[in-house]
């Protein structure tokens, strides 16, 4: 276990985010590492919630708008911490030769909060919201094997590796899949108590055609997150409407 001046909560968020949208870098001319991440304006509530959790490593100008230089209307909110010795300790734990390396010795330090951050950053419900996938395109296959073993040993969750594409440039990229709805529910139950941003609820709401099964999952999410039932019901209905809309588009002549 790393001996750091960072609070446990801050460290857990950073470690989870390194698997998702976050990064640790030692910039040229600096001795110590900075932590950074960015999100589109669509996810501003989640962005600012994370910023609030990271006050202990933040400066007065840690948040800024990163303009889209290509004119595509995709401006992003960016966070960058202070350069700190405690972040350098985390950098040394998670990097080798200045490259992020997924290794068991730091995966073992992930908490349910860490997994929640990773999921909200790069996880998605797919297959009519009854399976899950982590976008791990930039990780080596051997690193994904390490994560698969970690999930099985530590959390008793079966995660599988699948190619992004069968042919072409992306055939050498892989993603982590939770193919079983029951395995997905096991994972979501771990992270649900840490989901505190309403706009991100869609990432934990499994959809069912059976009204009884749907009500059971809404009740469970309500109990574990603390969000009111009507909020969850509205989110479920909105997601179902969107899925029906896209299904119609796919099947239209």
List the structure tokens of 97: 């030769």
Q: Decide: helix, strand or coil at residue 129.
A: coil
What pLDDT score does 6 carry? 94
**Cα gap 12→164, rounded to integer Å:** 28
Whether pTM > 0.85 for this model: the answer is: yes
Q: Where are the alpha helices (DSSP H) in the chain?
A: 8-18, 44-53, 85-94, 104-107, 112-122, 141-150, 181-191, 211-225, 229-251
pLDDT in tens, 42-59: 999 999 999 999 999 999
**Cα gap 216→211, rounded to integer Å:** 9
What pLDDT score does 246 carry? 53
Structural domains in the chain, sorted by start: 8-101 (3.10.28.10), 112-251 (3.10.28.10)
Q: Which residues of the chain have pLDDT under 70?
A: 1-4, 68-73, 245-253
pLDDT in tens, 113-155: 999 999 999 999 998 899 999 999 999 999 999 999 999 999 9
């Amino acid at each position: 276990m790393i001996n750091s001046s960072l609070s446990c909560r801050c460290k857990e968020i950073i470690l989870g985010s390194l698997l998702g949208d976050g990064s640790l870098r030692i910039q040229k001319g600096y001795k110590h590492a900075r932590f950074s991440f960015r999100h589109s304006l669509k996810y501003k509530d989640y962005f600012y919630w994370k910023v609030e959790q990271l006050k202990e490593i933040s400066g007065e100008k840690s948040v800024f708008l990163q303009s889209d230089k290509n004119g595509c209307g995709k401006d992003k909110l960016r966070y960058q911490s202070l350069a700190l010795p405690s972040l350098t300790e985390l950098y040394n734990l998670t990097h080798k030769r200045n490259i992020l390396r997924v290794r068991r010795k730091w995966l073992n330090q992930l908490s349910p909060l860490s997994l929640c951050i990773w999921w909200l950053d790069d996880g998605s419900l797919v297959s009519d919201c009854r399976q899950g996938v982590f976008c791990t395109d930039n990780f080596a296959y051997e690193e994904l094997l390490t994560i698969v073993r970690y999930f099985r040993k530590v959390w008793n969750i079966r995660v599988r590796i699948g190619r992004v594409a069968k042919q072409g440039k992306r055939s050498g990229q892989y993603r982590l899949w939770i193919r079983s709805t029951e395995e997905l529910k096991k994972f979501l139950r771990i992270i649900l108590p840490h989901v505190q941003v309403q706009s991100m609820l869609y990432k934990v709401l499994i959809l069912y055609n059976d009204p009884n099964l749907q009500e059971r999952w809404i009740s469970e999410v309500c109990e574990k997150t603390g969000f009111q039932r009507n909020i969850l019901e509205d989110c479920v209905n909105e997601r179902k409407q969107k899925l029906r809309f896209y299904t119609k588009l796919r099947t239209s002549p």
